[in-house]
Amino acid sequence: MRVLVKLGGRVARDSVDLVLARHAAGDRVVVVHGAGPQITAELRARGIEARFVDGRRFTDAATMAVVRTASVAVGVELCGALGPQARHLVGDGIGLEAVRAPELGFVGIPVPCRPAAIEEALEASCIPVVTPLAVGPLNVNADEAATALAAGLEAERVLFVTDVPGVYLGGSVLTRLHADRATELLDAGAFEGGIVPKLLAAVQAARLGLRAEIGETAVVA
- In 3D space, the residue among 142, 156, 146, 154 whose CA is nearest the CA of residue 27 turns out to be 156
**Residue-wise pLDDT tens digits, 80-119:** 999 999 999 999 999 999 999 999 999 999 999 999 999 9
Is the pTM above the cut of 0.75?
Answer: yes
Contact of 91 with 152, CB cutoff 8 Å: no
Alpha helices in the chain (DSSP H): 16-24, 36-45, 61-82, 91-94, 116-123, 142-152, 179-187, 195-207
* pLDDT for residue 47 is more than 90: yes
Give the per-residue pLDDT at 52.
Answer: 80
What gap in Å lies between CA 2 and CA 55, rounded to an integer? 31
Helix (H) or strand (E) holding 87: strand 86-90
Question: Please, what sign has the CA dihedral across residues 12, 18, 21, 25?
Answer: negative
Q: What is the pLDDT of residues 118-161, one digit of tens each?
A: 999 999 999 999 999 999 999 999 999 999 999 999 999 999 99
149-196 pLDDT, tens digit per residue, is: 999 999 999 999 988 899 999 889 999 999 999 999 999 999 988 899
Question: Residues 165-185, buried b or exposed e (16+ Cβ, 10 A)?
Answer: ebbeeeeeebeebebeebeee
- The DSSP call for residue 103 is G
Would the pLDDT of 64 be above 90?
yes
pLDDT at residue 193, as a whole number: 83
Q: Per DSSP, what are the bridge partners of residue 113?
A: none
CA distances to 37, 61, 103, 184, 191 from 8, rounded to whole Å, are 9, 24, 25, 25, 18
213/161 Cα distance (integer angstroms): 8
* Cα–Cα distance, 68 to 38 (Å, whole number): 11
CATH 3.40.1160.10 residue ranges of the chain are 2-162
With a cut of 80, say whether residue 204 has pLDDT above it: yes
For range 4-22, the mean pLDDT: 86
Q: Which residues pair with 107 in a beta bridge?
A: 139
| CA torsion angle 186 188 192 197 (round to 10) | 20
pLDDT of residue 174: 95
Domain 2-162 is found in CATH 3.30.160.250:
no
Pairing state between β 157-161 and 211-214: parallel
Query: Rounded CA gap, 187 and 137, in Å?
Result: 31
